[in-house]
Amino acid sequence: MSSRYILALDQGTTSSRAIVFDRAGNIVSLAQKEFRQIYPQPGWVEHDPREIWGTQAGVAAEAVASAGLSGKDIAAIGITNQRETTIVWDRETGQPVYNAIVWQDRRTAAFCDELKHSGHEAMIREKTGLPIDAYFSASKIRWILHNVPGALARAQAGKLAFGTVDSWLVWHFTQGSVHVTDVSNASRTMLFNINTLAWDEDLLRLFEIPASMLPRAGSSSEIYGHTADNLFGGAIPVAGIAGDQQSALFGQQCTTPGMVKNTYGTGCFLMMNTGDAPITSRNNLLSTVAWQVGGKVQYALEGSIFSGGAVVKWLRDGLRLIRTSSEIDSLARSVPDTDGLYLVPAFAGLGAPHWNQDARGALFGATLGTSAGHIARAALESIAWQTRDVVRAMEADAGVPMPELRVDGGATVNNLLLQFQADILGIDVVRPRITETTALGAAYLAGLAVGYWHDLSDVAGQWQLEHRFAPAMPADDVARRVAGWQRAVRASIAWADD
């Protein structure tokens, strides 16, 4: 099997990607394709599930072919995916009954507020480790069932299936023979009890969701089924599944309690391995399942930031200040600092540690001298500021300072961002040689399931340092800037609450 490869499918919020890895964890080939973002109303975000499947299947075939390989050269497929995004489909036809409702979508915020006012928050957090928020899948499923004509009756008759994106992909790769998710994705639905590792009947009743809709919640590393013969010219085991942030934690080899990574993607997601038991956060973080491998479950604390790379996309597509995302670096470097400008990118509300779903994006401190360069620099810095807020909350929950921050994701190519991140955290920010750690984690999970790698020690030595960013900003300068950011966040929340 050493001459074969692992295919990792990384289905993200804005694109579908496929990467072929060799046994040393090196990238052999990569293919990527963006797909449409659908905004029916302010605060609503949707994807076409058929586009998700079509682009993911397409790049999978492209990555294998561009490496000069065929299906027989692939030992296993691992899947990692945008989490919480909700798809409901017909079990007989395999067709979605509605567009995928994306994790960023806020249409169910009012219903979530009703649940809070009705006193359900403590019960839900105890069972799921999550706060009540429109971010998670449960209220999205309920919305589809109550707003698509006939959907609730069809679901109650056992004719509809629910899945997060991983379930949708496995269903189609196996041509409808397998309906499964893994415990990491299940833990993000707000329907899964992370203490018993089972779908929770109380929560299903609360959200009026028939249990028959749900996939089997398997481990993160097992053979779930095989691809249909016609897709790759032969059956390939689908053997690893993890939500994107849990997969990145695994890919960063944060397998020891206390290790921390931050992924800079469409959102930013800071995650700490907490070992074999969930930790209840006192600082508005999430407690979630990290993975289940070899029968052993590990948990994590997580801080979810809704707008990370999405801020850069907004500058490109919304304001048209840049033509490509890579141009933000030169534009931001055209000025020495933000000149007191702060961007609070609460385009879909504020995530951890604030959890204010009514907050909206705002620029503070603008003057007639504010330029496109200042806005670009404030946008980059906003990603680091939000990360700092979560780091401080996580350190308070863990009771110890963070020794270093391992980073990955598309935005980590930006040295300006990572140096500023180190400066305002006061700790080293560490970038690995392979930053495709989300896909790499899925590859590891799949490879372990089929014996491509024997055990965790077989892959532990593959993590390699590419660059270490050490803090260099004077402490008084950091303190002044921190105060400005905190003032801007307070103002953004006050505007929403007025």
Residue 13 is labelled as binding a ligand = yes
- Is 83 annotated to bind ligand? yes
The per-residue DSSP string of 473-494 comes to: S-HHHHHHHHHHHHHHHHHHHH
Question: Is 410 annotated in some ligand binding site?
Answer: yes
Task: Judge whether 15 is annotated as a binding position.
Answer: yes
81: annotated binding-site residue? no
Q: What span, in angstroms and rounded, lies between the C-alpha atoms of 461 and 450? A: 20
Q: Which residues contact 149 (CB under 8 A, 6 or more apart)?
A: none
**Cis? peptide before 353, omega within 30° of 0:** yes
141-178 as b/e: b if 16+ CB within 10 A: bbbbbeebeebbebbeeebbbbbbbbbbbbbbbbebeb
Angstrom CA distances, 4 to 1, 76, 220, 447, 492, stand at 5, 9, 21, 11, 52
Please give the Cα distance from 438 to 490 (Å, whole number).
33
Is 444 known as a binding-site position? no
Distance (Å) of CA 58 to CA 130, 181, 184, 385, 488: 35, 22, 26, 37, 43
9 three-class SS: strand
The answer to whether the annotation marks 182 as part of a ligand binding site is: no
Tokens describing residue 250: 């695994």
SS3 345: coil
- 256 annotated to a ligand binding site: no
Closest CA to 210 of 284, 249, 254, 158: 158
Determine whether the annotation assigns residue 17 to a binding site.
Answer: yes
> Can you say which residues are annotated as belonging to the binding site for glycerol?
83-84, 135, 244-245
> Can you say which residues are annotated as belonging to the binding site for ATP?
13-15, 266, 309, 410
> Can you say which residues are annotated as belonging to the binding site?
13-15, 17, 83-84, 135, 244-245, 266, 309, 410, 414
> Can you say which residues are annotated as belonging to the binding site for sn-glycerol 3-phosphate?
13, 83-84, 135, 244
> Can you say which residues are annotated as belonging to the binding site for ADP?
13, 17, 266, 309, 410, 414
